[in-house]
Amino acid sequence: MPIETSVCTRVRVFSRPRILICSLLLSMMFALTAVQSAEIKPPPAGGRPPSMLDATLPSSSSNAALHYQRALLFLSAVDHEQQQLLDKPIWEIVNANTTEEEVETINNLLIESRNAIRSALVGAAQLQADFGADPRQYAATTQLPHVVPMLRLAKLVALHGMQRQATGNWGEAAQIYLDVVRMGRHMSQQLTLAESIKAVRILETGYHVLAGWAVRCPDTALIAEVNVVLSTVSPNSISPAAAISHEASILQLGLSNLQREYPDGNW
């Protein structure tokens, strides 16, 4: 076979799969464009979208703790004196006696902490959280540097929601408050008692702002929708006794190992 014919034959053989792949890719692109176009629905004139709470359900399955840790790093860069405001309960930070000067302080804190808030909301959109604090590996030396800052972060997110509520964005505020509740649920998934206790405090913050929101929200249909979503976010109660039992079993395992290593000890 002449060289020219051989080259042309090889080109034809290798070109057909490439053409097929390109055709498949173009078909997928057109299909994706059609799906995206079908999903985009403009809100009705003079009203809110069909469901303001679509974004409250977890949209990803990465580890929420990674986003929370990033948020805590951003929060650590905020002035420490400004952060001290977050050591108070949420009902002491904002109440009927809050002055204009205090409101200005809160607004400045939210501006300085905007990156921390954004990362926390991304974390709240995940299904699971694992901070990696496994007492089975570290026992009594387990370090929990995220526990106290997580409560501060939850209050910061709650304040962000209250700011949105104050401007009349009732649906967006509800989403943010539900994110606070989800942050508490993420903490309740951890293995230590300290994390479970902070989970209760975070949930306390979330429920407080949600209750205040429900009393003031003029949209009764939105309130009913939030109630349904809340039942799916928090289907079960938290039992710190489970964390206590887990830690006790780890301590018992440690003692058993010591007894096996030092059978002549003063047991």
Amino acid 24: pLDDT: 41
Q: Which residues contact 150 (CB under 8 A, 6 or more apart)?
A: 68, 72, 183, 187, 198, 202
For range 164-187, the mean pLDDT = 94
Q: How confident is the model at residue 189 (pLDDT cuts 50, 70, 90)?
A: confident
**pLDDT: is 17 or 153 the higher one?**
153
> CB of 163 within 8 A of CB of 210?
no
**pLDDT: is 135 or 7 the higher one?**
135
Distance CA 179, CA 153 (A): 12
**pLDDT: is 247 or 116 the higher one?**
116
Amino acid 238: pLDDT: 61
Q: How confident is the model at residue 90 (pLDDT cuts 50, 70, 90)?
A: very high
Residues in the chain: 267
Amino acid 80: pLDDT: 92
Mean pLDDT estimate for the chain:
76
Residue 64 vs residues 117, 132, 181, 184: alpha-carbon distances, Å: 14, 12, 14, 12
Q: How many CB atoms sit inside 10 A of residue 203's CB?
A: 22
> CB of 58 within 8 A of CB of 127?
yes
Residue 123 has pLDDT above 60, yes or no: yes
Lowest mean pLDDT among 82-96, 144-158, 191-205: 191-205
**pLDDT: is 127 or 260 the higher one?**
127
Residue 30 has pLDDT above 70, yes or no: no
Distance CA 60, CA 56 (A): 12
Q: How confident is the model at residue 46 (pLDDT cuts 50, 70, 90)?
A: very low
Beta-bridge partner residues of 63: 128
CA angle 10, 14, 17 (to 5 degrees): 155
For range 27-37, the mean pLDDT = 37
For range 210-233, the mean pLDDT = 91
